[in-house]
Amino acid sequence: MLIIDKYAYQNRWVDVSPGYKWWAYLTALVVAMITSTMWQLALFVLLSTVTCYAGRLTSKQYLKWISVPFGFLAMSLIAMLVTYSDRSSQLIVSLPMFDGFIGVSWQTYDTAMTTLFRCLCSIAATLCFVIITPFNQCVTLLKKARLPSVLIEQILLTYRFIFIFIEEAHAIFTAQTIRFGYIRRGLWLKSLAMLVGVLLQRVMIRHQHMQSALAVKLYQGEFH
C-alpha cells in the first residue's frame, strides 16, 4: 500500500459520503479560479489545515507532499516571468540582450503571481481530496457518474499495477544494493539498465499470474 493510501483509509472523514467530498473539491477549485489573491491565500491555508486535521498529517509530511509538483510549477513561472523588451524602463529587472533587454515586467509578474496562487490552491484542493477519499470511494463516484464499465475496469487495473510495479522495482533495487550494484558510476548505470530490463519481465509475469487468478475466480469482465 502506498503511504498516501494508508492515510486515505485511516482519515477522520473516511465514513463521510464521497459525494460530499467531490462537491467540496469542485467548489474549492472554482473558488481558486475566480477569486482574488487574498481569497486564494486564505483558501490555501484553510485547505492545508483541513488536510492535516482530517488526514492526521504532520505539517512536515504535508509540506513534503505538496512540494513535489513545485519543480514543474517553477519552470512554468520562469517562462511566464521572463520577457523581452526594446526599453529597459518597461522592465522591473533587466539585462541587456542583443539589441534589447530581457527581464521581468509588471505584467508578467502579475500573471505569474496569479498563476502561482491558483496552482497552489488547486494542488492543495486535490491533495485534500486524495487524502480524505479512499480509492474504493473514488470508484463509487465513477460508477455514479455512469462512466463506461470498461473505463472503470482499466482504472482499477492501472491502480493495481502501480503497486505491482513499485513492489517489483523495490525488490530488484534492494537485491542490487546488497550486491554493491550502485557503488560506482559505471556500475550504477549498468545496474539501472538491468533493473529496467528485469522489471519489465517481472511485471509481465505478475500480470500473467493475475490473469490466472481471475480465470480461477470465474472473472466475467467486471469487478464487483
Q: Encode pLDDT of 16-47 as tens digits.
A: 899 999 999 999 999 999 988 889 999 999 99
Categorise residue 71: left if φ over 0, alpha if ψ from -120 to 50, beta otherwise.
alpha
- On whether residue 174 sits in a domain, the answer given is yes
Q: How confident is the model at residue 179 (pLDDT cuts 50, 70, 90)?
A: confident
- On whether residue 10 sits in a domain, the answer given is yes
Residue 174 has pLDDT above 70, yes or no: yes
Side chain identity at residue 44, one-letter code: F
Co-location of 78 and 161 in the same domain: no
Residue 223 has pLDDT above 70, yes or no: no
What is the spatial distance between Cα 30 and Cα 16, in angstroms, rounded to a whole number? 22
Co-location of 207 and 127 in the same domain: no
Q: How confident is the model at residue 205 (pLDDT cuts 50, 70, 90)?
A: confident
- On whether residue 62 sits in a domain, the answer given is yes
Mean pLDDT score across all residues of the chain? 84
Closest CA to 133 of 3, 2, 19: 19
Domain holding 212, by residue range, is 147-216
- On whether residue 120 sits in a domain, the answer given is yes
- On whether residue 221 sits in a domain, the answer given is no
Mark which of 85, 105, 138 sits at the end of a domain.
138
Co-location of 85 and 43 in the same domain: yes
The domain total for the chain is 2
Average pLDDT over residues 137-151: 86
Co-location of 155 and 127 in the same domain: no
Mark which of 138, 165, 193 sits at the end of a domain.
138
Average pLDDT over residues 132-157: 86
What 8-state DSSP symbol labels residue 89?
A: G
